Amino acid sequence: MSRSRQQVVRMLALVPYLQANEGVPVNEVAAEFGVTSKTIRDDLRLLMYTGTGEYAGELIDFDLTALEQDGVVHIHDAEFMTRPFRISTREGVALIVALRTLRASASGSELTVIDSALAKLESAVGDAAAAPVDVVLDQVDPTIHSTIVHALANGKRLELTYATVARDEQSDRSIDPRRLFTEQGKLYLEAWCLKAEDLRFFRLDRVIDAQLTAIDAEDHDVKVRDMSDGIFTVGEATPYALVDLHPRAHWLTEYYQVDLLEQSEEGIWRAKLYGADWAWLRRLVLRNAGSVTVVQPAGLAADVSSQAAVALRAYDEQ
């Protein structure tokens, strides 16, 4: 389970616990939930933005003076958590579809929990949930999937063997997994790649092997990428540049949409590099200055050269 999911589960259990243990010291709460006192304090601050509305009395509240000065927790305006919520048929169907999607990428004990929730929701919603909704994902090796889920649940580092379609090769990676998600029928793992020293997405159907290690995954200080617009896909009108990739830029073929055309004996790869727009392509080339050379179009090559010259002059003027 990812850290964000762990926090949600903990906070859902935290409210009824605090209601039943009025005036409990923060350190006792932390010990009960197996986390640090700082983590509990952070959870409480977040809970103060949670409720049934947006005004006083509708949001969960705490006695901040008692919390900061005495280290004890007094919870207020959380009575709504003691009674069940009512959801509309439309909301129920939306939850059912979401759970069916989640089930398609789940494994092991997760399936039992999801199936139980689905059964209850489908029973409550009734005939409205009878319409078939099929969620189809590419097949993934169940052993690999289970290993990755286990690593996420226990916060462990993974050793991956990954197939790179762009150049028909395999590479070995040490990664700190962050989350699993589905996009356009594919199951992806977002992870910190120690080789690239950056976040990377790995399609699970391209993972050849996954080995769990005894090393704890590090919590790298990076934000989860917003996937609301989906993973970038190439279409007929997608802009692209013909580029030469020097060895230090070979990693681009593993992370971005690239058609590899030629590989020279000197280690320079000629490729089509696709982007959302020309401004994005220009920024990517500039960020990899010296490792990526634009061959075509001439306008982009000139634009990159001009922008690089401006940046160099700015350094000279300092």
Residue 136 lies in a domain: no
pLDDT in tens, 9-18: 777 788 888 8
Mean pLDDT of 119-124: 75
The more confidently predicted of residues 153 and 57 is: 153
Mean pLDDT of 20-46: 86
Query: Of the candidates 224, 141, 144, 234, which has an alpha carbon nearest to the alpha carbon of residue 184?
Result: 234
Residue 230 lies in a domain: no
Residue 222 lies in a domain: no
Averaged confidence pLDDT in the chain: 78
The more confidently predicted of residues 307 and 6 is: 307
Name the DSSP class of 205.
G
Same domain, 100 and 75: no
Please tell me the total count of domains within the chain.
4
pLDDT at 295: 93
**This prediction's pTM:** 0.43
Residue 249 lies in a domain: yes
Lowest-confidence pick of 173-187, 220-234, 276-290: 220-234
Residue 290 lies in a domain: yes
Same domain, 77 and 101: no
pLDDT at 269: 92
Residue by residue, DSSP assigns 148-194 as HHHHHHHTEEEEEEEEEGGGTEEEEEEEEEEEEEEETTEEEEEEEET
Domain boundaries, position 284: 240-316
Q: What's 302's domain CATH number?
A: 3.30.70
Residue 197 lies in a domain: yes
Lowest-confidence pick of 7-11, 135-139, 154-158, 206-210: 135-139
Query: Of the candidates 106, 192, 181, 155, which has an alpha carbon nearest to the alpha carbon of residue 6?
Result: 155
The more confidently predicted of residues 94 and 265 is: 265
Same domain, 154 and 180: yes
**Which of 184, 216, 248 is at the close of a domain?**
216
How far is 308 from 300, CA to CA, in rounded Å? Answer: 12
Residue 235 lies in a domain: no
Same domain, 194 and 248: no
Mean pLDDT of 102-117: 70
Contact 256, 249 (CB under 8 A): no
The more confidently predicted of residues 308 and 247 is: 247
Same domain, 94 and 74: no
- Is the pLDDT at 104 greater than 70? The verdict is no
pLDDT at 214: 94
pLDDT at 1: 46
Reading the block at residue 245, the tokens are 């990739």
The more confidently predicted of residues 246 and 166 is: 246
Residue 169: phi, psi to the nearest 5?
Answer: -135, 165
Same domain, 245 and 312: yes
**Which of 216, 249, 276 is at the close of a domain?**
216
Work out the pLDDT band at 257, boundaries 50, 70, 90.
Answer: confident
Same domain, 25 and 60: yes
pLDDT at 63: 81
Q: What's 174's domain CATH number?
A: 2.30.30
- Is the pLDDT at 43 greater than 70? The verdict is yes
pLDDT at 210: 94
pLDDT in tens, 170-221: 889 999 998 887 765 678 888 999 988 888 888 888 899 999 999 999 988 7
Q: What's 27's domain CATH number?
A: 1.10.10
Residue 72 lies in a domain: yes
